[in-house]
């Protein structure tokens, strides 16, 4: 590891500059309507007994401050991962996301969906409106990704070639349809789907990473992976870390900002201390996402 990792957020720009990068691309950040975001924060901050540890929100600021902090660290492009937890929310969230992307040019226009009548129609509209990434939160939504109401949705996203970040793993707590089997059935039906498995598939890492061997467009984001919060004092699995060099071109940097209980810099530090080399870090922090979203250096 030739470049010392950042220890604080103030260290982040010097870190990516030392790697020879033009900045960072973060594919897993959350911007939501203010009232909804407050409820998300309240959930995390009260979920200690459920997840087994406290989860304070480290970036509990208003929208302008959250954007300013991302930009100050050199995050050149990011997402506004919106997601519904019940029917009737997704289309409204997509409308909000259109406005947010219009006033936030460094945000990759994000959209979402839920298994409900009309889902294919509003997903098609989101594609027409310029969505560049979708979010599917199987755990929070509590839905079966194999639901027939989503057949056309997965097909539309596949044909459009738009990446969809999928939280299908059972972390931090399992859901009725989390784990690899339900989503692997979706991939069997739509093998070209450009799916980005969130959190490396936490905690079912091996099964989700194995999907890369079968489906050419499956990717993974690094969100919360290998952080002290996630590892809880355990060392990373040598088998898991050993898989990551072979997946160098399939990995995208993600943070879960602002909904994280530690400094943003710690996510970069956690990946750097895997000691997989500067080329691997450059691919994860910039190159892969820049290629996926056709982004150029500022």
CATH number at residue 75: 3.20.20.140
Residue 2 lies in a domain: no
Residue 4 lies in a domain: no
All residue ranges of the chain with pLDDT < 70 are 1
The predicted pLDDT at position 214 comes to 97
Residues in the chain: 298
The predicted pLDDT at position 113 comes to 98
Residue 3 lies in a domain: no
pTM: 0.97
Residue 175 lies in a domain: yes
Buried b (16+ CB within 10 A) or exposed e, 236-258: beeeeeebbeebbebbbbbbbbb
Total domains in the chain come to 1
The predicted pLDDT at position 285 comes to 98
Residue 184 lies in a domain: yes
The predicted pLDDT at position 111 comes to 98
Residue 148 lies in a domain: yes
Torsional sign, CA 95, 82, 79, 260: positive
Q: Are 15 and 267 in contact (CB under 8 A)?
A: no
Task: Give me the helix-helix angle, 151-160 and 180-189, nearest 10°.
Answer: 60
Closest by CA position to 229, among listed 113, 103, 58, 111: 58
Expressed as residue numbers, the domain containing 95 is: 9-293
Residue 298 lies in a domain: no
The predicted pLDDT at position 3 comes to 79
The predicted pLDDT at position 298 comes to 87
Residue 1 lies in a domain: no
Name every residue whose Cβ is closer than 8 Å to that of residue 102 and which is 6 or more positions away in sequence.
Answer: none
Q: Could you tell me the strand order of the sheet in which 75-79 lies?
A: 24-26, 75-79, 107-108
The predicted pLDDT at position 49 comes to 73
The predicted pLDDT at position 50 comes to 76
Closest by CA position to 161, among listed 114, 216, 117: 216
| Residue 271 CA, distance from chain mean position | 15
């Amino acid at each position: 590891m030739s470049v010392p990792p950042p220890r604080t957020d103030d260290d982040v720009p010097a870190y990516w500059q030392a790697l020879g990068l033009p900045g960072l691309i973060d594919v897993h950040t959350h911007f939501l309507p203010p009232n909804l975001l407050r409820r998300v924060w309240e959930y995390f901050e009260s979920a200690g007994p459920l997840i087994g540890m406290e989860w304070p929100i480290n970036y509990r600021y208003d929208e302008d401050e959250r954007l300013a902090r991302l930009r100050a660290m050199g995050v050149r492009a990011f997402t506004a991962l919106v997601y519904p937890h019940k029917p009737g929310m997704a289309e409204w969230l997509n409308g909000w996301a259109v406005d947010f992307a219009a006033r936030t040019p460094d945000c990759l226009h994000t959209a979402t969906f839920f298994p409900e009548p009309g889902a294919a129609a509003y997903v098609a509209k989101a594609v027409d409106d310029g969505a560049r990434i979708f979010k599917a939160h199987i755990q929070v939504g509590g839905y079966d990704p194999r639901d027939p109401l989503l057949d056309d949705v997965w097909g539309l996203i596949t044909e459009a070639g738009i990446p969809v970040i999928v939280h299908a793993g059972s972390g931090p707590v399992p859901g009725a349809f989390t784990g690899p089997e339900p989503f692997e059935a979706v991939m069997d039906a739509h093998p070209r789907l450009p799916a980005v498995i969130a959190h490396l598939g936490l905690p079912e890492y091996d099964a989700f990473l194995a999907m890369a061997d079968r489906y050419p467009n499956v990717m993974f984001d690094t969100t919360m992976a290998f952080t002290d919060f996630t590892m809880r004092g355990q060392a990373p699995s040598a088998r898991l870390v050993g898989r990551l060099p072979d997946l160098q071109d399939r990995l995208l940097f993600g943070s879960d900002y602002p909904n994280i209980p530690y400094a943003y810099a710690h996510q970069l530090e956690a990946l750097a201390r895997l000691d997989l080399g500067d080329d691997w870090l450059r691919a994860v922090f910039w190159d892969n996402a820049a290629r996926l979203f056709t982004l150029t250096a500022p």
